[in-house]
Amino acid sequence: MSNRVLPLRDALREAIQEEMQRDETVFLMGEEVAEYDGAYKVSKGLLQEFGPKRVIDTPIAELGFAGIGVGAAMNGLRPIVEFMTWNFAVLAFDQIVNNAAKTLSQSAGQFRCPIVFRGPSGSAGQLAQQHSQMFESWMSNVPGLKVISCIDPADAKGLLKSAIRDNDPICFMESELMYAHTGEVPEGEYLVPIGKAVVRRAGSDVTLVTFNKMILPTLEAADLLAQEGISAEVIDLRTIRPLDHQTIVESVKKTNRIIVVDESWPFASVASEIAYEVQKYAFDYLDAPVTRVNSADTSLPYAPTLVEAYLPNAGKIVKAVKSVLYAKA
């Protein structure tokens, strides 16, 4: 198995292509996925290879085509439903939350719903309030759904392949700003287990936990802290539900301090759940309060200066780290 450097969009495409080649029940549907090669070119070339019965352009009707996908999954197919953005998927929440997530329990185990809902989540430059929301905490609040959120191209390939093969409905969160983000990607068969975080950088003084594109300012902050002799361990969650609290807790037992960096709003966020898990499983190891670095508790503005003020960044993370390092036990 060799590695190549690929952008995120190509890693995602390779995962879809390989799974469609491997399993004829897998198909892709969504807005502009066929004739236009995808809004972000993730599906480039798939229509030519697999034809219009397996790569299907849909109307601008998220509730409708999500419902078609759920019905297809209940009848033995494995749909990949692409939303141009998770902000548009709000229109399909009835199908995702009330049908896909509840198929197994409502049918007393008689029906599964092996479907992947995917697309970009979170801020994407100056797209303002209705196109810049993070949906990881929304979706992970629903029993029956699994939630994946990553930007590393190798992870994206391995996790998307695992998601397509999974028998449960999965929300796969990407980032519009990261489709050109590159990394080494294994060639050929490559799977990443769902529900397992990864340590991106080992450290001893403080644990930094994050996911999706916030991994980049978090690693930048770790570099800045290292220049001051502060050793930060960086954990990339990759999967939000099921949450790998064991990896987080083991790190906190070593560092005794934790900062959670989360692009979503602070109230009822993924960071809030992690704070609860840490106090439950590692309270006696903490030398400072669990601290969060979230986006501002407001809708995302349009002005670039306000976007910068709204989002977490390396400077805010460094400041938070110093607040827990110098806190009294």
Enumerate the active-site residues.
62, 131
> Do the strands 232-236 and 182-186 form a parallel or antiparallel pair, or are they unpaired?
unpaired
Nearest Cα residue to 322 out of 294, 296, 291: 291
Cβ-contact 115, 79 below 8 angstroms: yes
Q: Please state, in angstroms and rounded to a whole number, the distance separating the CA atoms of residues 126 and 149.
A: 21
Residue 37: helix, strand or coil by DSSP? coil
Cβ-contact 208, 325 below 8 angstroms: no
Cβ-contact 271, 255 below 8 angstroms: no
Q: 119: exposed, middle or buried (C-beta count within 10 Å: 0-12, 13-18, 19+)?
A: buried
Q: Is the peptide bond before 242 cis (omega within 30 degrees of 0)?
A: yes
Q: Please state, in angstroms and rounded to a whole number, the distance separating the CA atoms of residues 166 and 147.
A: 12
Q: Please state, in angstroms and rounded to a whole number, the distance separating the CA atoms of residues 55 and 65.
A: 13
Q: Please state, in angstroms and rounded to a whole number, the distance separating the CA atoms of residues 204 and 255.
A: 5
Angle at 135 between CA 28 and CA 194, to 5 degrees: 65
Q: Please state, in angstroms and rounded to a whole number, the distance separating the CA atoms of residues 269 and 290.
A: 14
Q: Please state, in angstroms and rounded to a whole number, the distance separating the CA atoms of residues 86 and 104.
A: 24
